[in-house]
Amino acid sequence: MPSPYRAIFAAPGSRGFSAAGLIGRLPLSMVGIGILTMISELTGRYSLAGALTATLALSAAGIGPQVSRLVDQYGQRRVLRPASLLAVLAISGLLLCAANHAPDWTLFVFAALAGCVPSVGAMIRARWTAIYRDSPRELHTAYSLESVLDEVCFIFGPILAIGLSTTWFPEAGPLVAGVCLLVGVWWLTAQRATEPAPHPRGEDSDRTSALRSPGLQVLVATFVATGAIFGSIDVVTLAFAEEQGHKAWASFILAIWAVGSCLAGIVFGLLHLKGKAERRWVLGICAMAVSMIPLLLAGNLPFLAVALFVSGLAIAPTMITTMALIEAHVPRAKLTEGMTWTGTGLAVGVALGSSVAGWVIDAAGARTGYVVSISAGAAAAAVAFAGYRRLTRPAQGEEPSNDGDDGDSRQQRDTDRRVA
């Protein structure tokens, strides 16, 4: 591992919570696709499977930020353990109902309850932030590592879930995902030394949502469009591979897309970039938008694989910069909630993008579906440009911990304060 990544693990307890977070976040990429595979295997009803997956995604989008808000207020251990237990019980109920051919409405009830799965990735980033808040270079590297681990989970999670449900028994994918969630969360919350201090809210002003931040509003709105990119590409790539007569290749092509993001994230974490983080973020959004155009020109699967690999190079750096901007625009007492809101925006966008892409594919063919991806990219760039001024304003209510300038100037100010 390159030295900047080795250096961040010098902090006591960092290896432990990072390993626990890797296990605990794996279910986020396994539960949805696992339920989809399970229902299709048990009933052959893809419409029901898709509706249940959408219900889970929308429920997680609504409940997730509230769980993180409680974490900010009461601490990770007190909130994550009961939330994870409820999520695992709901997943278990869904599996039992599906296996015993219970009425469809029972499946939707349990799918909605399973939406309380906590955002483990946000919890890990909050721990890194608590450790390296005053060390911008190390925090940048830590955020880069987390984005790479997210991509690793989304490469191997769906493959694992599909493989378990198709080769073992239909319920195996979601079942293993639930076990990973319990193991990861219990291991993480047992590590009290690195847990960020809770911020009890006694005043009415403290009870407001982190989404009141104008900068966070811009980031979340942009991530809705970004999620539509991700959701549409997943569906269209599957359909395009099927049209080409090689449907099984779709998972490998999407994995190549994620590998491009992984590699870019690793390299980005090694860099020490100067200049405004807001400008880098807008540039990253624009790069993602422009990288959608070659997809419409893909006439075969090898060309598509190359185009998606290049497109993936813009993803992780943009995500990493987003986390830095959240840390700058959200008060410290609401940081975990703020990080979860971007995930909510992505989840809503994925649901919208996959749905619209499905309609376009049915009407005009698979390759035309990439028009949805291009349109979503253009929308993301438009929102980013329109909200740029909001991002350049500091967070209200407390001094921001990252004002978007380069790390050298921040470190110099930190040194000046220590000398003073």
Q: What is the pLDDT of residues 347-365, one digit of tens each?
A: 778 777 877 887 888 788 8
The average confidence (pLDDT) of the chain is 81
Q: 142: which 2 tokens?
A: 């830590």
Quickly count: other Cβ atoms within 10 Å of residue 167's Cβ. 8
**What's the domain count of the chain?**
2
Q: Among residues 273, 277, 275, which one has the least CA distance to residue 215?
A: 277
CB 213, CB 361: distance < 8 Å:
no
Q: 159, 174, 197: which is the final residue of a domain?
A: 197
71/79 Cα distance (integer angstroms): 6
Residue 107 lies in a domain: yes
| Dihedrals phi, psi of 171, to nearest 5 degrees | -85, 0
Residue 203 lies in a domain: no
- Residue 349: which region, alpha, beta or left (left: phi > 0; alpha: psi -120 to 50)? alpha
Could you give the dihedral angle defined by the CA atoms of residues 180, 160, 319 and 192, in that order, rounded to the nearest 10 degrees? 10
Where residue 409 falls among pLDDT bands split at 50, 70, 90? very low
Q: 184: which 2 tokens?
A: 């990861």
Element (H, E) at 302: helix 301-312
Where residue 117 falls among pLDDT bands split at 50, 70, 90? confident
pLDDT, position 327 = 75
What does DSSP assign to residue 212? G
| Dihedrals phi, psi of 208, to nearest 5 degrees | -70, 155
pLDDT, position 207 = 62
* DSSP character string of 167-185: HT-TTHHHHHHHHHHHHHH
152, 30: one domain = yes
Residue 276 lies in a domain: yes
Q: Could you tell me the pTM of the whole model?
A: 0.73
Q: 197, 219, 241: which is the final residue of a domain?
A: 197
Q: What angle do CA 336, 337, 339 make, to 5 degrees?
A: 65
Element (H, E) at 253: helix 249-270
219, 93: one domain = no
pLDDT-above-90 percentage for the chain: 21
173/167 Cα distance (integer angstroms): 10
25: containing domain = 1-197
116, 235: one domain = no
163, 213: one domain = no
96, 221: one domain = no
59, 183: one domain = yes
Q: 130: which 2 tokens?
A: 């608590």
60, 191: one domain = yes
71/120 Cα distance (integer angstroms): 11
Residue 239 lies in a domain: yes
Residue 25 lies in a domain: yes
CATH number at residue 88: 1.20.1250.20
CB 111, CB 35: distance < 8 Å:
yes
Q: What is the mean pLDDT of residues 108-125?
A: 88
Q: 10: which 2 tokens?
A: 């010098």
Q: Among residues 216, 223, 199, which one has the least CA distance to residue 328?
A: 216
Report whether pLDDT(220) > 60.
Answer: yes
Quickly count: other Cβ atoms within 10 Å of residue 395's Cβ. 24
pLDDT, position 202 = 57
Residue 374 lies in a domain: yes
Where residue 47 falls among pLDDT bands split at 50, 70, 90? low
pLDDT, position 356 = 81
What does DSSP assign to residue 108? H
| Dihedrals phi, psi of 333, to nearest 5 degrees | -70, -10
Q: 35: which 2 tokens?
A: 């339920």
Quickly count: other Cβ atoms within 10 Å of residue 298's Cβ. 21
Report whether pLDDT(1) > 70.
Answer: no
Residue 15 lies in a domain: yes
Quickly count: other Cβ atoms within 10 Å of residue 233's Cβ. 27
CB 342, CB 326: distance < 8 Å:
yes
Amino acid, single-letter form, for residue 302: P
175/91 Cα distance (integer angstroms): 8
Q: What is the mean pLDDT of residues 130-158?
A: 81
280, 325: one domain = yes
288, 145: one domain = no
Where residue 46 falls among pLDDT bands split at 50, 70, 90? low
What does DSSP assign to residue 208? S
CB 257, CB 233: distance < 8 Å:
yes
Q: 243: which 2 tokens?
A: 């049209």
Q: What is the mean pLDDT of residues 243-264?
A: 82
74/118 Cα distance (integer angstroms): 14
Listed range (39-53, 114-128, 394-408) with the worst mean pLDDT: 394-408
90, 131: one domain = yes
Q: 176, 197, 218: which is the final residue of a domain?
A: 197
Q: Among residues 33, 80, 84, 24, which one has the least CA distance to residue 56?
A: 33
* DSSP character string of 113-171: HGGG---HHHHHHHHHHHHHTT-HHHHHHHHHHHHHHHHHHHHHHHHHHHHHHHHT-TT
Give the CA radius of gyration of the chain: 21
89, 168: one domain = yes
173, 284: one domain = no
* Those residues with Cβ within 8 angstroms of residue 195's Cβ, 6 or more apart along the chain or in another chain: 75, 76, 77, 127, 189
Residue 326 lies in a domain: yes
